[in-house]
Amino acid sequence: MSLIKNLFRMNKAVNTTKQNDVQKNNKSQKRLLTTSLQQNINIVKETLGKSSDIVIREFRAGEGGKLHIAVMYTDGLADKKLVQDFILEVLMLDLRKVDIDDSVLLKKNSFKILTDLVLPVGDVKEISDFDNLFTHLLSGDTVILMNGYGKGIVVSSKGWADRSVEEPSSQTVVRGPKDGFTETLRVNTALIRRRIKDPNLWIEVKPIGRRTKTDVAVVYIKGVAGDKIVEEVHRRLDKINIDGILESGYIEELIQDETFTPFPTVFNTERPDVVAAGLLEGRIAILVDGTPFALLVPALFIHYFQSSEDYYQRFDIATLLRLIRYLSFFLTLLVPSMYVAVTTFHQEMIPTPLLISLAAQREGVPFPAILEVLLMEVTFEILREAGVRMPRAIGQAISIVGALVLGEASVKAGIISPAMVVVVSITAISSFVSPTFNMAIAVRIIRFIFTFLAATFGLYGIAVGLLTMVLHLCSLRSFGIPYMSPMGPLILEDQKDTIIRFPHWAFFKRPRLMNQKDVVRQQRPIKAKPKPPQDGR
């Protein structure tokens, strides 16, 4: 394993050197806009292959049509009404009423006049090279070029069709907000701003991907998030040099601390309230344009057992639900392996009546327990995947009916025992309890390893597997923070929100390892003494 890691590091170092050379060459080969409007238009058409969705409108403006102007936008990405009413109409009609001479424009900077006096829009920028022109043009903005000037104006006019804010399908709650992130970055940042009206909430956007140029936003609360963690997030994002980012899963895999582990070290969610709660704890959110899944770092082991609903219900109810999740984690992990170990090596641990019943059930089964488990587990995984990929109208029915029919038919055919159906059912139901899909997948992978250990060494194999898993978990880091904190290292103050959730009035401080500055979350409440009754009442 160490040899493979070293090879990956060497390959990564070589690729980083090559990427730096490519970046230097790209910077030196930037094409600047020319003063000839027609030449600029020809370059745009040739570069984009005269694509039909690129609209280029040339016209004359100013008194007597002295100004030769071109307006470019991408049909389908730009808001046509905004372009028509606030850009084309203003330049073609209103600008004709202004008595302006070309020589005066040349002296006074025509772009300054357009941005300050003519264009009634909010977000306006100047560009001087074709790279920025294509980036803005293909992002839904409108580009304005003028003959005789080697610069252009970019007007924000994004207006593509997008999905409305809906309830997230991957992390549902009984009590709590029902709004979820969408595929539009600006809508997602607005959902966070709506919850945290703090001027220290900083949103820094950077494009990643040489061809897609996907906008990636780093969101954190200045003064609450640790400066070193913020710098580390920016450093890892800046090191990414890839042709395209299509989903936040790309970013997650490229910035995670450890590659060779089934456990996730970057948290993802569709819920704005979960991101807002993480920001208030000092964590950092990474939002990617084009996906409703936001990333939260650092991500600890306990975060994957916490649901946003835990903080909307009373603390006793939340504690019960959280304990059920931890119990389900161990049931999913250990029930098949424990069954195999006990029935194969440690029959003396089973009560005599139950042992007789199991022996009678397995009398006609031709396979050992390990093959039974593998057969049923693999079959159930296939049914689960088929239910996800099938159309929604029939997918759930196929998975449920398939499991029932196959289980009953297998028992009647004598391929598996009825007890094995119970074991697999408990394991499958427990795996659905996890509030996060990443951790559920990790446990589903690891339980096969535990099953093989149980079939080979019995309970001793399970014990060695548990010890190895704990040591592996303790060795993991998420952006420098120990993965098992606050349980390892043990932080007593942070135990109020791990296995048991204390009431909200008990959360005086933020998690210690994530935040070293503004650690006080709330002041200790002062209990008012009841006043004695007056006038005998």
Q: Are residues 374 and 477 in the same domain?
A: yes
- In sequence order, the 6+-apart residues with CB closer than 8 A to the CB of 511 are 281, 282, 486, 491, 494
Q: Are residues 204 and 278 in the same domain?
A: yes
**Alpha carbon distance 306, 288 (integer Å):** 23
Kindly list the averaged pLDDT for each block of 10 residues, start to end, along the chain of length 537.
50 51 51 90 91 89 77 90 84 64 51 67 83 90 88 86 84 88 92 93 93 93 90 94 92 91 93 93 93 94 91 92 94 93 88 86 82 87 78 62 70 81 87 89 93 93 95 92 89 87 87 77 66 59
**Alpha carbon distance 522, 517 (integer Å):** 14
Q: Is residue 202 part of a domain?
A: yes
The confidence score (pLDDT) of residue 393 equals 58
**Alpha carbon distance 144, 33 (integer Å):** 12
The confidence score (pLDDT) of residue 90 equals 79
**Alpha carbon distance 177, 167 (integer Å):** 8
Q: Are residues 295 and 335 in the same domain?
A: no
**Alpha carbon distance 197, 11 (integer Å):** 45
User: Dihedrals φ, ψ of 70, to 5°?
Assistant: -130, 135
Q: Are residues 269 and 213 in the same domain?
A: yes
**Which pair of structure tokens corresponds to residue 534?**
């007056």
Q: Are residues 234 and 259 in the same domain?
A: yes
Q: Is residue 437 part of a domain?
A: yes
**Alpha carbon distance 127, 135 (integer Å):** 11
The confidence score (pLDDT) of residue 194 equals 93
Tell me which residue of 447, 176, 434 sits closest to 304, measured CA to CA: 434
Residue ranges of alpha helices (H) inside 345-368 are 352-361
Q: Is residue 177 part of a domain?
A: no
Tell me which residue of 181, 236, 247, 256 sits closest to 214, measured CA to CA: 247
**Which of the listed residues 275, 299, 323 is the one where a domain comes to its end?**
299
Q: Is residue 79 part of a domain?
A: yes
Counting the structural domains of the chain, the total is: 3
Tell me the β-bridge partners of 129.
32
Tell me which residue of 196, 177, 178 sits closest to 280, measured CA to CA: 196
Whole-model pTM? 0.84
| Residue 495 and residue 512 in contact, taking contact as beta carbons nearer than 8 Å | no
Q: Is residue 512 part of a domain?
A: no
Q: Are residues 319 and 452 in the same domain?
A: yes
DSSP string, 191-244: HHHHH---TTEEEEEEEE-TTT-EEEEEEEEBTTB-HHHHHHHHHHHHT---S-
Q: Are residues 293 and 197 in the same domain?
A: yes
- 142-146 sheet: strands from edge to edge: 54-61, 67-74, 142-146, 152-155, 124-127
Q: Is residue 357 part of a domain?
A: yes
Domain of residue 268: give its range.
185-299
Q: Is residue 164 part of a domain?
A: no
| Residue 263 and residue 301 in contact, taking contact as beta carbons nearer than 8 Å | yes
The confidence score (pLDDT) of residue 303 equals 92
| Residue 88 and residue 70 in contact, taking contact as beta carbons nearer than 8 Å | no
As a residue count, the chain comes to: 537
